[in-house]
Amino acid sequence: MSPADDEWSVLMRAALGGDARAYARFLADVTPVLRAVVRARSRDLAWDQQEDIVQEVLLALHRKRHTWQPDLPIRPWLYAVARHKTVDAFRARGSAVHLQIDDFENVLAADEPADGLAARDVAFLIGRLDRRSAEIVRSVGIDEEPALAVGERLGLTEGAVRVVLHRAIKRMAAIAKGPRA
């Protein structure tokens, strides 16, 4: 972790504790870094469109700040939010975005369900998958087991585990949306 990461973590912890000044400083410190991430991922967009994405990222950070786990490094969390908002912006414009699945390695683990209904819904969706896909979703996506270890256990390569996981998550999303009208 860099000194900036340490400082950002300290500021975010203070912000989560209610320190408005620490939160303002945190946002001021991370904004240039997030702007660079957004610009690197959206070179084809005009400057004002890139700035719109940066603002969306900052809003998402504000709305989702409770999801950051203080015992984990903050930079991957920041980059994940920026990456997701950039992808959302391209989707809204009807553009295709191709990202390496390795980019999502640190964010594949699902948040703990907020309530029993969410846990029930996740269990239902996983139950609709084939046995191997369900095992991979549980092991990698929920239990945070490394894809390499899961692959060794199931006789698959690490890459194959990631592909099965990605496809299973897409299937679960389609199931959750229900039949198309």
> Which pLDDT band holds residue 181 (cuts at 50, 70, 90)?
very low
Strand, helix or coil for residue 34: helix
Residue 18 DSSP code? T
Sign of the Cα torsion 37, 39, 41, 42 reads positive
CA angle 118, 138, 60 (to 5 degrees): 50
Tell me the pLDDT tens digit for each residue of 143-152. 888 889 999 9
Number of residues written out for the chain: 181
The share of the chain scoring above pLDDT 70, in percent, equals: 82
Mean pLDDT, to the nearest integer, of 81-87? Answer: 88
Q: Are 114 and 102 in contact (CB under 8 A)?
A: no
Predicted local confidence at residue 59, as pLDDT = 92
- Is residue 120 predicted with pLDDT exceeding 60? yes
Mean pLDDT, to the nearest integer, of 63-77? Answer: 88
Strand, helix or coil for residue 17: coil
Locate the domains of the chain by residue range: 3-97, 116-177
> Which pLDDT band holds residue 130 (cuts at 50, 70, 90)?
very high
Residue 111's closest CA among 88, 85, 80, 75? 80
- Is residue 133 predicted with pLDDT exceeding 60? yes
Strand, helix or coil for residue 127: helix
Predicted local confidence at residue 92, as pLDDT = 77
Q: Are 8 and 30 in contact (CB under 8 A)?
A: yes
Q: Which CATH number fits domain 3-97: 1.10.1740.10, 3.40.50.12780, 1.10.10.10, 3.90.226.10?
A: 1.10.1740.10
> Which pLDDT band holds residue 135 (cuts at 50, 70, 90)?
very high
What CATH architecture applies to the domain 116-177?
Orthogonal Bundle (1.10)
More confident call, 3 vs 172: 172
Tell me the pLDDT tens digit for each residue of 24-68. 999 999 999 899 888 888 887 888 888 999 999 999 988 888 888
Judged by average pLDDT, the poorest of 11-15, 30-34, 49-53, 121-125 is 121-125
